[in-house]
Amino acid sequence: MPPAAERPAAPSSGIARPDAADIAARLERLPMSGYQRRIFAIIASAWLVDQIDVALLTFLLGAIVAAFGLTPTEAGQLAAMTFAGQLVGNILAGTASDRFGRKAVFQVTMVVWGLASLAAAAAWSLPALMACRFLIGVGVGGEAPVAQAMVSEIVPARVRGKYIAILEGFWAVGYVLSGAISFFVLPYLGWRWAFVVVGLLSLVVLAVRRTMPESPRWLAEAGRTAEAESAMAAMERGVERATGRPLPPVAPSPVAPTAAATAASLPGPRLGAVATLFAPEYRLRTVMAFGLWFFALIGFFGLNSWIAVLLKERGFSIVGSVGFVTLITLGGIPGFAAAAALLERAGRKPTTALFLICAAAAAYLYGKAGAGTVLTVSGVAVTWLFVAGFVMQFFMFGMWSCLYAYTPELYPTRARATGAGFASAFGRIGAILGPMIVPVLVRDHGPAAAFQVGAGGFLIAALLVLTLGVETRGKVLEAVSH
């Protein structure tokens, strides 16, 4: 048998210019191989580095407050700027990705936040730093829906949830690495150099990212059939080389197109991506997704943006509080691994609800653990605070894996990134409100009240999933979407 590279293009379903159903059938029959894992690694590496940048403020906020003499209100506004930028990035990049393609938009987002991170290192005032954090948010927020869409479109349905959950797990790893960078850089070089380190990392990942292919599913849905065939054939050859075996035959189309789906895929005037989110067949999903992200993120960022500062107020040094938060964040790594396993075994809906409910309980207990007198850096009080914090991060980071695995599966290809982007944008509204609400709660009612409100947000999100959510586990994207 001649080498794969010398053979004709890998077999298709028998048509030279494939439609979306043909591309779906050919993608779904591919075994998971080193070829898809390489593409996944490219996306995940970018995801890792941009999450390091997002998390930096959690660990640097205490030092920045001291450097600029910020009031609690000003600190909250600074924290909120990242999320305001993410809101804009979610919407702009999500819709642009559905219109212009995944690859180009994915690359642009990294340029934006990488340069903004380098600029943040030179910020001379609070307004300048706020502007840089806003631009960092635009880039990072824009990357999220594109990464979700891309992974969901190249990975077969049988392992799709697992890989998107693993992708989100790099968020937890990035969070820990952000704490580690801050812990080692902050006491010796200051907070500005932490931004420099992350900005330089972005340049390395950008060079790697240029080899990422375009999504064949998106190309076919956009009517660019010749390019879809070329991209699909290249992927088939890549998988065949990686496995060293002939590809399995193409099964019949995994989903028979409905009248609505067929009309939606026709060229020319049609229902736009944004309008699709509110079409009758998607309306309840959209309400669920928007509410899920809003309440989950108001809880997560309301708490995490202020943990290091609250610890400092309870007796920890700036560096000590950063180290403590970094250690409890390690709980997020087994959390996302557990979520990845359960998403495929138990399903998207029950796993998402379970992690939200458990995150609510853990946040409530963490607030109780931190209540009382000023803490010392040793003793039973700190041990209990560590255990409660570790468990809280386990479920909160596992929750993130559920959000990112579930959301892109709710919408068709032509509106997938738009739907994920708008849902994320509603989450950023919650993320903006969270850091601004927490200092008021702490001032008026004590730290425990902030964690109680965060727990309430998680419970409302869980209720929305249980009442309005649909199950998508193991289903081909085209079958789930129509």
For the segment 426-476, what is each residue's pLDDT rounded down to a tens digit?
A: 888 887 787 677 777 777 777 667 777 888 889 999 999 999 888 876 565
Per-residue tokens: 372: 């009382």
126 exposure class (CB count in 10 Å sphere: 0-12, 13-18, 19+): middle
For the segment 207-245, what is each residue's pLDDT rounded down to a tens digit?
A: 666 777 888 888 888 888 888 888 888 888 988 888 888
Per-residue tokens: 16: 């030279």
For the segment 168-183, what is each residue's pLDDT rounded down to a tens digit?
A: 777 777 877 887 888 8
Spell out the residues 6+ positions from residue 271 whose beta carbon is closer than 8 angstroms to its own: 263, 264, 279
Query: Residue 428 and residue 90: Cα distance in Å, rounded?
Result: 9
pTM of the model: 0.68
Q: Which among 385, 386, 396, 410 is positioned nearest to 470, based on CA atoms?
A: 410
Task: Give SS3 for 61.
Answer: helix
Supply the pLDDT for residue 288: 93
Spell out the residues 6+ positions from residue 113 whose beta carbon is closer than 8 angstroms to its own: 50, 53, 135, 136, 137, 138, 139, 140, 143, 202
Q: Which among 102, 63, 90, 75 is positioned nearest to 186, based on CA atoms?
A: 63
Percentage helix, strand, coil, to 5, in the chain? Answer: 80, 0, 20
Instruction: Write the CA distances from 116 to 57, 122, 412, 470, integer angstroms.
Output: 14, 10, 33, 39
Query: Residue 287 and residue 284: Cα distance in Å, rounded?
Result: 5
Per-residue tokens: 41: 């690694």
Average pLDDT over residues 288-316: 76
For the segment 153-171, what is each residue's pLDDT rounded down to a tens digit?
A: 888 877 777 787 777 777 7
Q: How many of the other CB atoms lie within 10 Å of CB of 426?
A: 20
Supply the pLDDT for residue 292: 94
52 falls in which pLDDT band (50, 70, 90)?
Answer: confident
Query: Residue 437 and residue 342: Cα distance in Å, rounded?
Result: 33
Contact yes or no for 94/421 (Cβ under 8 A): yes
First to last CA, the chain: 41
For the segment 368-377, what is each residue's pLDDT rounded down to a tens digit?
A: 765 544 444 4
Q: How many of the other CB atoms lie within 10 Å of CB of 387?
A: 15
Q: How far is CA 74 from the centre of its chain?
A: 27
Query: Residue 292 and residue 306: Cα distance in Å, rounded?
Result: 22
Contact yes or no for 153/217 (Cβ under 8 A): yes
Q: How many residues belong to the chain?
A: 482
367 exposure class (CB count in 10 Å sphere: 0-12, 13-18, 19+): buried
Sign, CA dihedral 108-110-116-122, equals negative
Residue with the bigger pLDDT between 252 and 413: it is 413
Contact yes or no for 477/158 (Cβ under 8 A): no
For the segment 341-367, what is each residue's pLDDT rounded down to a tens digit?
A: 888 788 889 999 999 999 999 888 877
Task: Give SS3 for 124.
Answer: coil
Spell out the residues 6+ positions from residue 125 whose beta carbon is closer than 8 angstroms to its own: 68
Max mean pLDDT among 68-72, 84-88, 316-320, 322-326 falls in 84-88
Query: Residue 236 and residue 217: Cα distance in Å, rounded?
Result: 14
pLDDT over 70 at 9, yes or no: no
| DSSP code for 190 | -
Could you identify the residue written with the tokens 């709710």? 410
